[in-house]
Structure 1
Amino acid sequence: MRKSRKIILSLAGVGTLAVSASLAALAWGHGYTSDPPSRSALCADGTVTDCGAISYEPQSVEGPKGFPDAGPADGEICAGGHAEFAELDDPRGGNWPTTSVGSGAQTVSWTMTAQHSTATFDYYITKDGWDPTQPLTRDQLELTPFDSFDMGGSKPDHTMTHDITLPEKSGRHLILSVWNIADTANAFYSCVDVDFGGGTGGDPTEAEPTDGASEDPTDGTTTDPATGAECEAAAWDTGATYTAGDQVTYDGVAYRADWWTQGEEPGTTGEWGVWKELATC
């Protein structure tokens, strides 16, 4: 009886460790397509609301690799198979905001919050005539990547960029970007809504900068040419909660949060941390 009790307790401990490890992996996450903004990025920066948990961890859309033969189930692709990120699979009536693109050269950027030995980055696109009012399924995608980058096991930088070549398309489409990890069974999934020859669609949309402010195309921060708007941000508050895109000043430096954070001191989180240095004030 005593031996059986020890076995049961040991199994319970293993289960607890497994759950803890799973939650830790989900909480810290690792990367997402940020330019053009993926659905994860749009939720994190507040452009799209009512997104649930993904607003706080856009980097966490990690699911089984092997797409399209394996990976997340149809209808769960944009969320990487995570029920807690189901808002990413919701087509919202076909009204996700889009980024205007054209066929041909396009630069895509990823924001990484952890380094991983990488196999490939693969890019897929929807077929002509796909239905944006329905959750994404394999039969709506061209299942051969239109572009792919073999990393050979190397690790990406904090910001990873690819010069892709978009195929000839017209109207609204969805790009599925997949970051395949070399030394695990997982990949990271990002859905990017685009419009070939169209403007920004969907509701809500971001307001244009005003009062002479201009947007820096390299990182999306808004600066005022006369005063430097980053340095006008409020001082960092150790008890405040910040989400992706929030800006603060601290110890004479302006910072931007790349995802949800609370109590993490700017300037101490390192290159791969939540706070990105914007300017010396």
Structure 2
Amino acid sequence: MTWNRKLFAAAAGVLLAPVLVVVLPATTASAHGYISDPPSRQANCAAGKVPACGSIVYEPQSVEGPKGLRSCDGGNARFSELSDESKPWPAKSVGTTVTFNWVFTARHATKDYQYFVGNTLVASFDGHNQQPPATVSHTVNLAGYPGRVKVLAIWNISDTTNAFYSCVDLQIGGGGTPPPTTTPPPTTTRPPPTTPTTTPPSSGTWAAGTAYKVGDVVTYGGVSYRCIQAHTAIAGWEPPNTPALWQRQ
């Protein structure tokens, strides 16, 4: 190589180097996010509400793993505490419809969001392969899962093979706006005997051993009572002592 060619090659290297420094970092962008409310397991750890959570307390947004998993730790050994069912995970009391709120610290184009109870997909929301805003909310109907449940929320990234995982412990039906209720019809279940608070009078039409039906009217102690639940009377169930059976007229 001649001296002129060496100088040209060196100059070309100097000119190209800054370009590589600028371009390469753009390919390493990553996503981070988690459910903040109702508090996910990582959110409770970060808030100090669960002991011995490990490193997740410093980075609740980082539970990332391959798509298709059904684990709270996203298959990440660093966050295995999130899958420890022996820990005292708080369960927020909610109604039968729950709004889950995602917080993103680094946003990425999104394929979809999925919500599982066990292995059952209970809700899915399309991300339209777009970058989400800083927060996203989804309302999910969980009426078919009363009591304590664990919901696994998954944020699937559209342009990588990974997803982000958040497990949320809930007490369904323990709060929020309850569904409308109706008064159940009277049953024939006998109420437990109660200690009489009055001495049976010597007169009146009520009598122990008598089968009464709804609507029957008796007198006791000079007062009239209407039967509101069918039953067979026994001592101790005098009308003044059993408002579940008799209604004063």
Residue 74 of structure 2 corresponds to which residue in structure 1? 80
C-alpha distance in structure 2 between counterparts of 1:29 and 1:115, whole Å: 5
Question: Which residue of the other structure, out of 139, 147, 165, is the alignment partner of 1:189?
Answer: 165
Whether contact under 8 Å (2:31, 2:108) holds in the other structure is no
C-alpha distance in structure 2 between counterparts of 1:169 and 1:195, whole Å: 9
Give 3-state SS (helix, strand or coil) of 1:152's partner.
Answer: strand
Give 3-state SS (helix, strand or coil) of 2:163's partner.
Answer: strand
Question: Which residue of the other structure, out of 59, 69, 94, is the alignment partner of 1:57?
Answer: 59
RMSD over aligned CA atoms reads 2.1
Q: How does 1:115-134 map to 2 (within 5 A)?
A: 115-125=107-117
Residue 89 of structure 2 corresponds to which residue in structure 1? 96
Q: CA deviation at 1:89?
A: 0.8
Whether contact under 8 Å (2:142, 2:172) holds in the other structure is no
Which amino acid counterpart does residue 158 of structure 1 have in structure 2?
Answer: A
Q: Percent same amino acid among aligned pairs?
A: 50
Q: CA deviation at 1:29?
A: 5.8
Question: Which residue of the other structure, out of 32, 35, 59, is the alignment partner of 2:34?
Answer: 32
C-alpha distance in structure 1 between counterparts of 2:47 and 2:131, whole Å: 26
Give the ranges of 4+ consecutive aligned residues of structure 1 lying more than 6 Å apart after TM superposition.
Answer: none
Q: CA deviation at 1:171?
A: 1.4
C-alpha distance in structure 2 between counterparts of 1:85 and 1:169, whole Å: 27
Give 3-state SS (helix, strand or coil) of 2:102's partner.
Answer: strand
Residue 164 of structure 1 corresponds to which residue in structure 2? 140
Give 3-state SS (helix, strand or coil) of 1:189's partner.
Answer: strand
Residue 109 of structure 1 corresponds to which residue in structure 2? 101
Q: Which has the higher contact order (CA 8 A, sep 6+)?
A: 1
How many matched pairs? 149
Q: Which has the larger radius of gyration?
A: 2
TM-score scaled by length of structure 2: 0.56
Give 3-state SS (helix, strand or coil) of 1:46's partner.
Answer: coil
Residue 155 of structure 2 corresponds to which residue in structure 1? 179
Listed as ranges, the gaps of 5+ residues in structure 2 are: 1-24, 176-249
C-alpha distance 78-179 of structure 1, shift in aligned 2 (>3 A):
same
Whether contact under 8 Å (1:34, 1:41) holds in the other structure is yes
Question: Which residue of the other structure, out of 45, 48, 52, is the alignment partner of 1:46?
Answer: 48
